[in-house]
Chain A
Amino acid sequence: MPVEVVTGNHAAGHALSVAAEANRDARGAACGIYPITPQTEIVEYVAKYPFTKCRVVPVESEHSAMGVSIGASLAGARAFTASSSNGLAYMVENIMVAGFYRLPIVMAAVNRTLGPPWNIWADHGDTLMLRDFPWIQFYCESNQEIMDTTLLAFRIAEDHRILLPALVALDAFILSHTQGETDLADQGQADRYLPHLDLPHRMRHDDPKTLGGLMWPDVAASLRLEIDEAMLRVPAVFEEARAEFVEVFGRDPGGALQTLGTEDAETILVAIGSIATTTHEVVQARRAAGEKVGLIKLKMFRPFPEEAFRDACRTASRVGVLDRNYAAGMGGVFWQDIRAAFQSTRNDLLIQDYLTGLCGGDVTPAMIDEVLSDLMARERAERPVWMGIAA
């Protein structure tokens, strides 16, 4: 397919649609859809797509959108949906169920500030609210990455070694409504890349099972352990799916971590989502000026790629985390996980949190420069630094 100039929402809607269509010769696809700004265009795209074998059910709430997708997935269809912010909060109960039922549902999640107050701009707090559920989480920084990661997500989620739902997150407006050159997958490519979905535990009359009934503690806990084992297999399956992607599409969808200059960096910034693009630019300029700085872009947040992360920081003495989220009473969510990753392995590493671009605030190159200057002058890490706060 030729490269088109489209929005992030268009890329997500297109990826979900070609993935759904790719299951037309199997049990088809289905989804529940419900609008919320700034995600609405995704479900609008899906609603008007000329599917061969897919049912799009316009429901009355996000809770039911995931409910319909759960039913469709249990019946063996490729299932998906999209939501954002308070919509995700309303959907939470069924998001959790999709994970515990091991249903490979893929959800496009547009990161928007949880309200109140009413604020429709980018903040990662909504999807991070879901971080402890059995969902794989990907964060994107460009429309191309949204397109590619969505297909990658289906491939990983439906792999029998994994069987977990996956969400593909994109920043409100900065990506959802901003046009960019995107190589949109054509149906032939999607067909080649995505095998037909075969859900081993789909509901069938010839083998009736009761799903989700009473389970004693040790047996129920063993299911949690199985989820953990599947989560641990994700990085390897991700790399396989990534290699296959390169083969079919001729481009790299990117790894769980993407780095710049970490081979010799003394100071590393960690960025997630669209902030990574701005940070990339600043880090590149600083490196050109001879400074030993680096960037880690975290694409996959769940499962947390702990080992890869430690490895990328081996030459560093300082890490600054750009958190576009705030966990009340604690600080940035990414910062917490990164600190935990180095617990008892690198007590010398200074890990400082910068709450940056919260509630959709602009993150400018000047702000990243300010962060870097603060970080490089630091003797020790302190409480999170709040950036861009109204006076």
Chain B
Amino acid sequence: MTTETATRTPPSPGALGEVPSIPCTEECLLRPGNTNCGGCGMSVGLTMLGRALEEAGEACTLAIPACCGAVTAGAFPTTSYGAPVVNTTFASAAAVASGLACVRDLNEERGQVICWAGDGGTYDIGIATLSAAAERNDNILYICYDNEIYGNTGGQRSSATPPGARTSTTPSGKTEDKKDMMSIMVAHGIPYTATLSIAHPVDFRRKLETAFTITGTRFLLMHSPCPTGWKSEPSDSVELVRIAVSSGLFPLYEVWNGKTYRLNTLPDWTDPAEYFKRQRRFKDYEIDLDATTRVCRERFERLAVLAERFPHDG
């Protein structure tokens, strides 16, 4: 297993690594022919999830609340999903997954029960349900693809929207900070919590594989570029989230049991200016780049202290 730790030399941000090429067929988790937007981070995430499941020999059942992941299926009688999927009510993904998972476990069956949810269904309407499942340590894998916006409804603010971002409900730019969902989930003390970036596919895949081997609630937070909502070029998607990692805006790290930490890449403190400039959602809003970098550095410093004081062994 590849492990990237803060103590080793991290790979250059965005190194693609060895991603095996698997042909897309009907058996794929995300089948070809879906109508998702070009440059959609969620679609890349689903493809990576599918490949990781295939490599691990794991089947999966998806519980998807209202979000772009629900739209991905397309119209009946066709579906873009090569796995059983249930569309849940907006707040219920984790609860429905808990029900599915407990019956799987009662019957000693294999297969991951995975919630595939956006930030609206995770940070906002679904947070109580998710928190409760985590508190019970139900045996589910919850993956939040965070595009920092209610994308499916045309781009409204969520509590994951970063300050300065213009959305249809924050026409002059959001003034509040982004909710720190990772810290909230870490505070639940669940067995595994990690951040994912599609610009770091090796790290992404390794974390999925790690999550598959763990029993209990696992929470993965993926930074998910959304050209439609971010008003960015589809071809910039990977580059944008790469800058988010290298500038410290979106640190890659893992936490076990809410106690032991591991940092996966060290930011090189790339100037985040490019990140904001290439997204028209930040247009007309004066982003204080120095303050942003300062906040990022402080957050990373805290994580680094935790990782040094409470390192994850193994």
User: Which residues on A are within 8 Å of B, measured CB to CB?
Assistant: 27-28, 30, 32, 53-55, 57-61, 63-65, 67-77, 79, 93-94, 97, 203-205, 207-216, 219
CB-based nearest A residue for B110 = A205
Asked whether any CB of chain A lies closer than 8 Å to the CB of B71, the reply is yes
A30, A71, A73, A215: which contacts B76 (Cβ < 8 A)?
A215
A53, A69, A208: which contacts B83 (Cβ < 8 A)?
A208
Give B45-96 interface residues, CB cut-off 8 Å to A: 59, 61, 63, 70-71, 73-76, 79, 81-89, 91-92, 94-96
Instruction: Tell me which residues across on chain B come within 8 A of A209, comparing CB atoms.
Output: 79, 84-85
Interface centre among B88, B89, B96 (most CB of A within 10 A): B96
Where chain A touches its partner, the secondary structure class is mixed
Query: In angstroms, how far is the closest chain B Cβ from the Cβ of A104?
Result: 14
Q: Are the C-beta atoms of B99 and A73 separated by less than 8 Å? A: yes
In the bound complex, CA of A208 to CA of B60 (Å)? 10
Can you give 29 A-B contacts (C-beta < 8 A)? A28-B106, A30-B99, A54-B106, A57-B98, A57-B102, A59-B95, A59-B98, A59-B132, A60-B128, A60-B129, A64-B132, A65-B95, A67-B95, A67-B99, A68-B96, A71-B63, A71-B97, A71-B98, A74-B100, A75-B103, A97-B89, A205-B61, A208-B81, A208-B84, A209-B85, A210-B73, A213-B75, A214-B71, A216-B75
Instruction: Tell me which residues across on chain A come within 8 A of B99, comparing CB atoms.
Output: 30, 32, 57, 67-75, 79
Q: How many A-B residue pairs have CB under 8 A?
A: 158
Give B104-146 interface residues, CB cut-off 8 Å to A: 104-107, 111, 128-129, 131-132, 135-136, 138
CB-based nearest A residue for B93 = A67
5 extra A-B contacts, CB within 8 A, seeds A68-B99, A213-B74, A213-B87: A28-B103, A64-B128, A94-B89, A203-B84, A214-B75
CB-based nearest B residue for A26 = B107
Q: Are the C-beta atoms of A208 and B86 separated by less than 8 Å? A: no
Instruction: Tell me which residues across on chain A come within 8 A of B111, comparing CB atoms.
Output: 205
Shortest beta-carbon contacts, A-B, top 5: A71-B99, A67-B95, A212-B87, A75-B103, A60-B132
Q: Are the C-beta atoms of A214 and B73 separated by less than 8 Å? A: yes
Q: Are the C-beta atoms of A53 and B95 separated by less than 8 Å? A: no
Query: In angstroms, how far is the closest chain B Cβ from the Cβ of A19?
Result: 16
CB-based nearest B residue for A220 = B76
In the bound complex, CA of A32 to CA of B59 (Å)? 25
- Contact status of A72 and B102, CB under 8 A, knowing A63-B91, A63-B92, A209-B84: yes
In the bound complex, CA of A68 to CA of B92 (Å)? 8
Query: In angstroms, how far is the closest chain A Cβ from the Cβ of B312?
Result: 29
Q: Are the C-beta atoms of B106 and A203 separated by less than 8 Å? A: no
Instruction: Tell me which residues across on chain B come within 8 A of A75, comparing CB atoms.
Output: 99-100, 103-104
Query: In angstroms, how far is the closest chain A Cβ from the Cβ of B50?
Result: 12
Q: Are the C-beta atoms of B96 and A214 separated by less than 8 Å? A: no
CB-based nearest B residue for A101 = B86
CB-based nearest B residue for A223 = B76
A65, A68, A77, A210: which contacts B81 (Cβ < 8 A)?
A210
Query: In angstroms, how far is the closest chain A Cβ from the Cβ of B92?
Result: 4
Q: Are the C-beta atoms of A211 and B86 separated by less than 8 Å? A: yes
Instruction: Tell me which residues across on chain A come within 8 A of B106, comparing CB atoms.
Output: 27-28, 30, 53-55, 77
In the bound complex, CA of A274 to CA of B85 (Å)? 43
Q: Are the C-beta atoms of A210 and B87 separated by less than 8 Å? A: yes
In the bound complex, CA of A131 to CA of B98 (Å)? 28
Q: Are the C-beta atoms of A203 and B89 separated by less than 8 Å? A: no
In the bound complex, CA of A389 to CA of B7 (Å)? 76
Query: In angstroms, how far is the closest chain A Cβ from the Cβ of B49?
Result: 15
CB-based nearest B residue for A71 = B99
CB-based nearest A residue for B70 = A213
Q: Are the C-beta atoms of B95 and A212 separated by less than 8 Å? A: no
Q: Are the C-beta atoms of A76 and B79 separated by less than 8 Å? A: no
B59, B79, B84, B129: which contacts A64 (Cβ < 8 A)?
B129
Q: Are the C-beta atoms of B59 and A205 separated by less than 8 Å? A: yes
Instruction: Tell me which residues across on chain B come within 8 A of A61, comparing CB atoms.
Output: 128-129, 132
Q: Are the C-beta atoms of B136 and A64 separated by less than 8 Å? A: no
Give B238-290 interface residues, CB cut-off 8 Å to A: none
In the bound complex, CA of A73 to CA of B99 (Å)? 8
Interface centre among A54, A61, A73, A210 (most CB of B within 10 A): A210
In the bound complex, CA of A1 to CA of B85 (Å)? 43
Instruction: Tell me which residues across on chain A come within 8 A of B132, comparing CB atoms.
Output: 59-61, 64
Q: Are the C-beta atoms of A203 and B92 separated by less than 8 Å? A: no
Query: In angstroms, how far is the closest chain B Cβ from the Cβ of A248?
Result: 26
Query: In angstroms, how far is the closest chain B Cβ from the Cβ of A59?
Result: 6
Q: Are the C-beta atoms of B131 and A203 separated by less than 8 Å? A: no
- Contact status of A67 and B129, CB under 8 A, knowing A28-B106, A75-B99, A77-B106: yes
